[in-house]
Amino acid sequence: MPMSADHPGTDANPRTSDGPGAETALTKKIDPAREPLSRRTVLVAGIHLIEEDGVRQLTMRRLGAKLHVEAMALYRHISGRDDLLDGIVELVMDDLYADPEVHIESGVWQDYLTRLGHGVRRLALTYPQVFPILATRPPAAPWLRPPLRSLRWTESFLGTLRQAGFSDDAAVRAYRSFSSFLLGFLLLEVAALGSDTGPVEQADPGGPTKVNLNDYPNIKELEQGLSQDLSSVEFEESLEAMLDRIELFMRRDHRH
Amino acid sequence: MPMSADHPGTDANPRTSDGPGAETALTKKIDPAREPLSRRTVLVAGIHLIEEDGVRQLTMRRLGAKLHVEAMALYRHISGRDDLLDGIVELVMDDLYADPEVHIESGVWQDYLTRLGHGVRRLALTYPQVFPILATRPPAAPWLRPPLRSLRWTESFLGTLRQAGFSDDAAVRAYRSFSSFLLGFLLLEVAALGSDTGPVEQADPGGPTKVNLNDYPNIKELEQGLSQDLSSVEFEESLEAMLDRIELFMRRDHRH
DNA sequence: ACCTGAACACCGTTCAAGT
DNA sequence: ACCTGAACACCGTTCAAGT
């Protein structure tokens, strides 16, 4: 993924002048010879902060500190906390769009949807804390459906399906089914992920507040199965089942 | 729904002594003759506040004001804001459990799942602002999957399916499929709902910041279809398709 | 028993002022 | 051009004090 190329603020040590920035070390004082902030730098730092400490810890002040800057300096690049979150969502979607594994124009729509589905899943598993934001923030237009919430993605999706012979109606229905499947499945998958690594509050040491299952015999007996992680297999199967269903109403529409 | 029987705080006028509380008017001073707060009262007021103004506006101080009390008084009944939100989620789930339309023990598992699905959808449409909270807050146990996130519901779900002849494995898989379908579909449905009535910020009067679709011909051509609300029909169809799929791996498991 | 006042630490955001 | 200090309004939460 392109984004992981640069992690500003991830290194705690203030960087000494290196790389192509030799002249900036001359024009500036001895002080932190950091390159000036950019919107992208701020957004990427925001993503890392969310993944490390959770969204609730993403405050202007903490983000500023991470970038060795006062919180107020961030307002040069983002218009506020909401813009920060929207920007992060946009950046992540663009990142997915640039993913060569995902974005191959292929004549076979099943290939396209499979690759796209896996791409979104990879995104969700890479940024498990960011994904719920992507899923719940109100999109720019009401007909943009998370997690495929950018105009570019929606355009690409609809275009590919129509080119593959989908009617207008079938393409739209496919877009809806696909979105709701990905959203439901992946939201539950990252939630299950988070409960392992979740908010490490540990109220009282001496057991993680284990639920008493005495009154719930069915849960008790199936607990093992419930806890088992079969996400990869189930994702594959469910994705295929959904593609079959899409094919069904694609063909039905055609016959008409 | 039982909850809508009492809306404390919904009426702006301080209630004069009425009902069976005639003696309380004697024991207390002339002051607001309100019955003392209860946890339930606080939670219900919280729900109404969320539905009226959004979750972000649910602050201790505003909730206190709504109940004609200082914010600090709420801490007698809830241990903090997180407990408030958890309590609201729990209350809403219990409300669904008490819904006679939903909770009928029936021998036919398809009936049970259909009624349950419609019950959850009714819940989501009644409390569109609360539903996303229900969907995203970390559940008490990692194997509890929103939106069926209470022990009672999960127990009832698994028990009904096993009694209908599901193997342990098939029951668990059905629970997962059902959860992820409801979550994805309903989250998108209430999100689309919210964008009509959404955060009424209206940055600049003179058009609601209409997106320029000139570079997106497919979206442009399909915009009508994308905007159309077919949720009820689509919900029905998708729910049935999912029941068919559950039946498939239920039978397959049986044959083994 | 139940609620309040005052206080603390921490927010987001603004704006004039610094370099 | 870019960042900071100081300030404002608003948070969640605590605790001793009021009735």
The answer for A 4-63 residues in CB contact with B (under 8 A) is: none
Distance in angstroms (rounded) separating the CA atoms of residues B150 and B141: 9
Q: Distance, in angstroms, between B11 CA and closest chain A CA?
A: 31
pLDDT, chain B, mean: 84
Inform me whether the pLDDT recorded for B243 exceeds 70. yes
CA distances from A64 to A204, B205, B214, B254 (A): 33, 33, 38, 59
* Phi and psi at residue A154, to the nearest 5°: -65, -40
Band (pLDDT 50/70/90 cuts) for residue A209 is low
DSSP summary character for residue A35: P
> Looking at residue B36, what is its pLDDT?
78
Residue B126, burial from CB neighbour count under 10 angstroms (0-12, 13-18, 19+): middle
Residue type, B111: D
Does pTM top 0.85 for this prediction? yes
CA of B53 to C1' of C14 (A): 25
Mean predicted confidence (pLDDT) in A24-41: 58
Distance in angstroms (rounded) separating the CA atoms of residues A248 and B72: 58
> Looking at residue A255, what is its pLDDT?
59
The three-state (H, E, C) secondary structure of B63-91, written as one string: HHHHCCCCHHHHHHCCCCHHHHHHHHHHH
Interface test with B, best of A97, A143, A189, A220 (most B CBs within 10 A): A143
Inform me whether the pLDDT recorded for B222 exceeds 70. yes
A229-249 as b/e: b if 16+ CB within 10 A: eebeebbeebbebbbebbeeb
> Looking at residue A13, what is its pLDDT?
34
Query: In this predicted model, which residue has the larger pLDDT, B16 or A108?
Result: A108
Q: Which residues numbered 36-95 in chain A sit less than 7 A from strand D, measured from CB?
A: 36-37, 64, 69-70, 72-73, 76
pLDDT, chain A, mean: 84
Q: Distance, in angstroms, between A80 CA and closest chain B CA?
A: 14
Percent of chain B with pLDDT over 90: 72
Q: Per mean pLDDT, which range of A11-15, A202-206, B214-218 is the poorest? A: A11-15
Residues of B in contact with A171 (CB under 8 A): 222
> Looking at residue A33, what is its pLDDT?
46
> Looking at residue B27, what is its pLDDT?
32
Band (pLDDT 50/70/90 cuts) for residue B30 is very low
> Looking at residue A233, what is its pLDDT?
96
Mean predicted confidence (pLDDT) in A211-234: 95
> Looking at residue B197, what is its pLDDT?
57
Residues B192, B197, B202, B207, CA torsion sign: positive
Inform me whether the pLDDT recorded for A54 exceeds 90. yes
Q: Distance, in angstroms, between A142 CA and closest chain B CA?
A: 6
Inform me whether the pLDDT recorded for B108 exceeds 60. yes
Interface test with B, best of A186, A219, A220, A240 (most B CBs within 10 A): A219
A165-179 as b/e: b if 16+ CB within 10 A: ebbbbbbbbbbbbbb
Mean predicted confidence (pLDDT) in A19-34: 37
> Looking at residue B10, what is its pLDDT?
34
Interface test with B, best of A109, A137, A158 (most B CBs within 10 A): A158
Residues of B in contact with A82 (CB under 8 A): none
Mean predicted confidence (pLDDT) in B131-136: 96
Q: Per-residue pLDDT tens for B56-68?
A: 999 999 999 999 9
Band (pLDDT 50/70/90 cuts) for residue A1 is very low
The answer for A 227-246 residues in CB contact with B (under 8 A) is: 227, 234, 238, 241, 245
Inform me whether the pLDDT recorded for B7 exceeds 50. no
Inter-residue contact B132 to B124 (CB < 8 Å)? no
Q: Per-residue pLDDT tens for B173-195?
A: 999 999 999 999 999 999 998 77
Inform me whether the pLDDT recorded for B89 exceeds 80. yes
> Looking at residue A129, what is its pLDDT?
98
* Minimal-distance CA residue of chain A relative to B231: A176
Band (pLDDT 50/70/90 cuts) for residue A196 is low
